Structure 1
Amino acid sequence: MTNNTTRTRSGRAAQSALFRWFGRKFVQYTLVLLVALSINFALPRLAPGNAMNYFAGQEINLLSPEQRARLEKELGLDKSVLHQYGDFMSGAFRLDLGSSTKFGKPVTQVLKERMGWTFLLVTPALLISMLLGVVFGAYSAWNRGKRRDIGLLSLMLTLQSLPGFWIGMMFITVFAVQLGWLPSYGAVPLVHGTTGQYVLEIVKRMILPVSTITLATIGSYFLLTRSSMLDTLGQDYIFMAEAKGITKRGLIYRHALRNALLPVYTHITISLGVLVSGAVVVETVFSYPGIGRLLYESVVARDFPTMQGVFLFITVGVIAANLLADLTYPLVDPRARGAKHMEGSV
């Protein structure tokens, strides 16, 4: 009876600690989102000049005073700053981000049209760079100090130092211009054939930008995995496993790599949000119609509502990726669950 009562109390204490942890995380990320939204609201109003110039673009100089006043009323700029702030925050939570001055339709609709292309580009690049970076990083750490390690480390450091736009331009010069193997811009062909041909053309137009993002990001996964593996390979349990006669393959993948992947996993989840903003340069180089290209087009056209929408999308992506890392990391590392329980019971 006493044991059952003790287990029940322990379970309730763990559940209570878990709820408190979720509550703190919810408050923390809500505050971060509110601060990001506030900065997004303040940008056009703190910039030099009239906020109308940022929301309406260069065409504002061609409007008559009556048209200017009507547009100012439509944008809500005739209200007090506090009232504008309230309207902006309520609109953001209702996904009402205003209308694009360049495209002439709601910003949310423009984002929906471009969002899929960015995910189609970023997802395979993230998976490929993650897989290759982890495999090569583990292999390099196991062969520390050998020629294979030095060669891989030199290659990855070189790739890490190269800017993404330069890699993309080299790919266009070699594979699109000189060899003529692959298209150099866009996401879809100008002339649509059969469904199979259409899909094939989309894939062909993905190869160069996906390869560019992969080469530009693989170095970070490699270096992090290699560093974490070197630290793990120096642990006592690795020497004990090696003394028991476990094969090299088993030591790397069953013992060392599983523990070395913990910091890599955090980096991967955070990269989910960061890569969306990191694709801006690559999408611009290849004229790929994603979120990054949309940001470039809105900056050139001074389409501030769309710029605000893109910044908000990137901010929410980064916050969601960090939240995903916080929620799923205890599933990967049992020690985090114990630490969380201890934190709640203090």
Structure 2
Amino acid sequence: MRYFVSKTLRLLVCMLIIITLNFLIPRLMPGNPVVMMLGPDAAALSQQDYAQLAREYGLDQPLLVQYRHYWHSLISGNLGYSFHYHQPVAQLIQKHLGWTLLLLGPALILSTLLSLWLGCLAGWRPGSRLDLTLTLSSLLIYAMPQFLLAMILLSLFGFYLGWFPLGSIQSGTSHTFLGAVLDTVRHLVLPVTVLTLAATSTKFLVMRNSVARIRQDDYVRYALAKGIDEKRILFVHVLRNACLPLLSLIALNLGFMVSGALLVEIVFSINGMGLLIYEAALYRDYPVLQASFLVLTLVVIGANLMVDLLYGVLDPRVRA
């Protein structure tokens, strides 16, 4: 119980620090915060307009008072107002975040299952032809930037072969619910494949090395000497111990998956957080950038908490 409470408290402290940094960074940057928020439109404002906007956003108040108002706004779901889209930032994020999670969810599950399976096969027979093939393939994909992998798959399967759409998330031609679902799945195949391959390349290497190391343990050799079926040894006894380092990697790698998803969304023109952040950066829409950073960071922290708690369930030693 102490382990779970400790992990939860640590991540809550981490969330507090991130929220505080998200509050301080725009206010400590050189220049007028109002000018940063308005971007190019600020050139048309007078000094009276600056003062009025500063009062409306509470920027003329002491920093501690602003911090208290900032927390009150977060709790009430007020993330600011977009100057480019002319609507509340919370509505924008609610609209775009779902598509990003729809990319990350399947990619996370598929990459974990693939790395478990392929890592077991390669690590159980280290040095075999299968092991060398999978290891070299993983290293090649690992060294390749995700946007380059996305462009290769898009060009091959989307442009030349025409098997999948070139971009977007829906074609808008389906008139039934089932048709819309199938159309969305067809649009998601290539971007999810890119994220899955990129994530699997890292997890596979960790899983492969973990299985190869545990295979040399005495209890595995004893089980093999007794004539117990190799599949039973591998998937019942070895797998549980070998997957623990993989769980730690999933938590560490989740942030990289999020950043990769943002780039993949831009390549495939998916209307998720990546495209939202890209357009907000182009138009200097600071409220959107600030809120997007906060929301994505909290998503990663929440997922890390779930992985840490699962690690404690699978490995009783960490709870001691």
TM class, shorter-chain normalised? Answer: over 0.9
**Structure 1 residue 103 corresponds to structure 2 residue 85:** yes
CA RMSD of aligned residues (A): 1.9
Q: Match for residue 203 of structure 2? A: 221
What's the CA shift string for 1:139-182, capped at 9, x where partnerless? 11111112221111111110111110001111121122222221
Q: Does 1:292 align with 2:313?
A: no
Matched positions, count: 320
Q: Look up the match of 2:151.
A: 169
Amino acid at match of 2:119: G
Q: Which moved more, 1:122-131 or 1:45-54?
A: 45-54
Counterpart residue number, 1:79:
61
Moved over 6 A (4+): none
Q: Kindly report which structure 2 residues correspond to 1:1-346, keeping only aligned pairs within 5 A, or say none.
A: 18=1, 20-272=2-254, 274-337=256-319, 339=320
1:272 CA drift (Å): 4.7
How far does residue 21 in structure 1 lie from its aligned partner after superposition? 4.5
Counterpart contact for 1:270–1:318, Cα < 8 Å: no
User: Structure 2 CA distance, aligned partners of 1:23 and 1:137?
Assistant: 32
Q: TM-score, normalised by structure 1?
A: 0.87
Deviation at 1:54, TM superposition (A): 1.9
Between structure 1 and structure 2, the one with the greater Rg is 1
Q: Write out per-residue CA displacement over residues 299-324 of structure 1, whole angstroms, 9 at most, x where no aligned residue.
A: 11211111111111122122212222
- Contact 1:271/1:321 (8 A) holds in 2: no
Higher alpha-carbon deviation: 190-199 or 146-155: 190-199
TM-superposed CA distance for 1:22, in Å, is 4.7
Q: Which residue identity is paired with 1:186?
A: S
Distance 1:318 1:199, change over 3 A: closer
C-alpha contact (below 8 Å) 1:276/1:291 kept by paired residues:
no
Q: In structure 1, what is the Cα distance between the partners aligned to 2:259 and 2:89?
A: 18
Greater CA deviation, 250-259 or 42-51?
A: 42-51
| Distance in 1 of aligned mates of 2:29 and 2:316 | 48
CA distance in structure 2 between the aligned counterparts of 1:151 and 1:302, rounded to whole angstroms: 46
Residue equivalent to 1:15: none
190-199 or 223-232: bigger deviation: 190-199
Structure 2 unaligned blocks of 5 or more: none
Contact 1:287–1:293 (CA under 8 A) maintained in structure 2:
yes
Deviation at 1:212, TM superposition (A): 0.9
* Separation of aligned partners in 2, 1:99 and 1:53: 15
- 2-structure distance, mates of 1:57, 1:187: 30
Taking the aligned partners of 1:171 and 1:270, their CA distance within structure 2 comes to 26
Percent same amino acid among aligned pairs?
38
CA distance in 2, matches of 1:200, 1:148: 35
Unaligned segments of structure 1, at least 5 residues:
1-17, 340-346
The TM-score, its normalising length taken from structure 2, stands at 0.93
| Residues in 2 aligned to 1:178 and 1:167: alpha-carbon distance in whole angstroms | 16
